[in-house]
Amino acid sequence: MNWRIWALQKSPWVYHVNAGACNNCDIEVLELLTPRFDVERFGITLVGSPRHADALLVSGICTRQIAPRLQDLYAQTPKPCVVFCIGTCACARGIFHDSYHAAAGPVDEVIRAVDPAATILYIPGCPPKPEAMILGVVKALRALA
């Protein structure tokens, strides 16, 4: 196994990006850190800079104003990294599919525009329950191995 992937699996640090969400997914992400779910016991922690992160948790439809900044954030994240599309908006734009302020594509297309080989995973739900997010991260880390 690639030693970088091995290190990433051990204790993934995540950076949270709100790409034009309604706040729900973001609150549920914070919920993961608080006592009931407390993912920090698995070594998962939120960091303040994408340069420290192993994974990006992206929520929201990716608005036109966010799209170039999301690409910047992706470029700043050390590779290999994993992008989690959290919530229906990030996966497929959901209820906002016909918004005039949405970028050319949902989050995965915007990121694939700069890195066609990016590892992107989807956790749908509006918002996904914290349990679903934990399951998604666990499945992703298993799949990487």
Partner 1 sequence: MTRTVLPIGPFHPLQEEAEFFQLYVDGETVVDMDVRISYNHRGIEDISTRRTFDQVPYLVERVCGICSASHPLAYIQAVEELAGITPPERSLYLRTIVNELERLHSHLLWVGLAGHFLGYNTVFMWAWKYREPVLDLLEATTGSRINYANAKIGGSRRDIPNELAPRILSVLSELEGKLEMLTGAVLDDYVLHLRTKGVGVLSREDARDYCVTGPTARASGIAIDVRRDDPYAAYDRIEWNVISAAEGDVFAKAKVRLLECFESIKIIRQCARQLPEGPIEVPVAAIPPGEAVGHVEAPRGETFHYVVSDGGPCPARHKVRAPSYVNIPSFKAACVGQPLADVTIALAAVDPCYSCTERLAVALDARTRRPLYTFDDLVRLSQEKTARLAREV
Q: Judging by beta carbons within 10 Å of its beta carbon (0-12, 13-18, 19+), is residue 98 exposed, middle or buried?
A: exposed
* Contact between 44 and 11 (Cβ < 8 Å): yes
As measured in angstroms, the least distance from the Cβ of 91 to partner 1 is 15
Task: From residue 131, give the alpha-carbon distance in Å to each of 29, 138, 141, 145.
Answer: 11, 11, 16, 22
Rounded Cα distance between 86 and 143, Å, is 18
Q: CA dist 18 to 36, 61, 68, 136, 139, Å?
A: 23, 9, 13, 18, 23
Assess 32 for contact with partner 1 (CB under 8 A): no
> Given the rule CB under 8 A, which of 4-12, 47-55, 113-121, 134-142 is the region that contacts partner 1?
47-55
Of 35, 41, 116, 117, which one interacts with partner 1 (CB under 8 A)? 35
* Window contacting partner 1 (CB under 8 A); options: 1-9, 77-85, 100-108, 115-123: 100-108
Please check whether residue 122 is in contact with residue 85, taking contact to mean a CB–CB distance below 8 angstroms. Answer: yes
Q: Is 56 in the site for partner 1 (CB under 8 A)?
A: no
Find the binder of partner 1 among 24, 45, 71, 119 (CB under 8 A).
Answer: 24
- Judged by CB under 8 A, the number of residues near partner 1 is 40
Judged by beta carbon, residue 80 or residue 125, the one nearer partner 1 is 125
Residues that bind partner 1 (CB under 8 A): 16-31, 34-36, 46, 48-50, 60-61, 63, 65-66, 69, 73, 95-96, 98-102, 126-127, 129
